[in-house]
Amino acid sequence: MSEPVEFLTVQTRKQPNYKLRFILLILAAVICILISFVVGRFTICIGDVLQILISAFLSAVYGCISFVLSPFPAIQNTVLGFLSQFIVSIDTWDYAKYSVVINIRLPRILAALLVGAALSTAGAAYQGMFQNPLVSPDILGASAGAGFGACLAIYLSLGSGMITILAFAGGLIAVLVAYMVSRMTKGSATLSMVLAGILVGSLFSASTSYIKLVADTNEQLPAITYWLMGSLAGATMQDVLFAGIIIILGTLPIFLLRWRMNVLTLGEDEAKSMGVNTNRLRFVVIVCATLITAVAVSISGIIGWVGLVIPHFCRMLFGYDYRRIVPAAIIMGGGFLLLVDDFSRTIATTEVPIGILTAFIGAPIFAYLLMMGGKRS
């Protein structure tokens, strides 16, 4: 042990209580979820919402139990009898309310949570991988590609399921092309990837513009324009299932590798010198982030700013360690987009596309963050 070096003395700040902050964040997200069930054209009081949700949950449990316990009829009958009695006893609402909560609001809420979580996680991951806090998840052209895919599907008058699938495929193809272009260029790998992403993105945007030009102006053009502005209004349980599976599969590796992502933010050479296989790690993280961005955009349309702003908020509250940023981005991103979506369906008589609102909210917040950042350094 030697004595402290007599360098400039720096005021040591105390480590904030991150656990408490996480608890508060989760609480805020849960409150957001409950509020989202209540508000809307058709207000449903919180008690009914809870009853409906519990009952729907128990009905699902009922289904599972009757399946699992089918070899044991005696036990099955007792358990199910008890359950159904309970379900009936809390069954005090009318069917219209049930339908609004379960068929309309639940898929939309789940979609908002998934899309918000996916975009923020992808944004946080890209920002670390490219060592640039100003990067957003569409940096590699995923959004532009997805937009083109969706527009093509609308132009060809395909169904809503195909819009989602073509959008997803378009997003992946765009990033793949950007990746291949960047492999063929010389110079810094990350810089050429970002440049290739911008290049491919503008190519797909131009293609989208061309489709808009030739599309039918009565039906297709409004549909295309509306899709590009982003909206969760059309989210179905099918969308949620499709996106949910891919988002969970794509987020899991990012979540598990979050310590190593810290090391990669130091740059190629330093990470390698600490024994990290940088090429493999960067590849895995970028593939996962791209996957979840593309699938999120495919069910929601283009929603900007969330993936850029939320990671910054996470850093303000939880520091720079990806061990905390990744879970924080998942919760905060989901909660934030849900809140914005509530506004999008309640502030005006017609729905305001959520992409417009996130820009209205995101841009001023980001300007504020930039000014704050400028002051500190």
DSSP class of residue 137 equals G
Minimum CB separation of residue 270 from another protein in Å reads: 6
Minimum CB separation of residue 201 from another protein in Å reads: 23
Minimum CB separation of residue 13 from another protein in Å reads: 6
Minimum CB separation of residue 318 from another protein in Å reads: 12
Minimum CB separation of residue 12 from another protein in Å reads: 5
Residues lying near another protein in the complex (CB under 8 A): 1-15, 128, 131-133, 256-260, 262-263, 265-266, 269-270, 272-278, 315, 319-321, 323, 377
Q: What is the dihedral of CA 125, 129, 132, 138, to 10 degrees?
A: -60
Nearer to another protein, 9 or 43 (CB): 9
Nearer to another protein, 205 or 262 (CB): 262
**What number of CA atoms fall less than 13 Å from residue 112's CA on the CB side?**
29
Minimum CB separation of residue 308 from another protein in Å reads: 15
Element (H, E) at 5: none
Nearer to another protein, 324 or 345 (CB): 324
Nearer to another protein, 207 or 262 (CB): 262
Rounded to 5°, angle at Cα 248 from 133 and 289 = 30
**At how many degrees (to 10) do helices 220-229 and 354-376 cross?**
30
C-alpha span between 326 and 322 (Å, rounded): 6
Helix segments in the chain, DSSP class H: 18-38, 46-68, 73-89, 95-99, 106-129, 142-155, 160-184, 189-214, 220-229, 237-256, 258-264, 268-273, 278-300, 306-318, 322-346, 354-376
Q: Which amino acid is at 83?
A: L
Minimum CB separation of residue 121 from another protein in Å reads: 16
Read off the tokens for 10: 């720096």
Task: 179-182: list long-range contacts, CB under 8 Å, 24+ apart.
Answer: 179/140
Nearer to another protein, 238 or 277 (CB): 277
Nearer to another protein, 97 or 260 (CB): 260
Nearer to another protein, 4 or 71 (CB): 4
Minimum CB separation of residue 323 from another protein in Å reads: 6
**At how many degrees (to 10) do helices 142-155 and 160-184 cross?**
140
Nearer to another protein, 130 or 148 (CB): 130
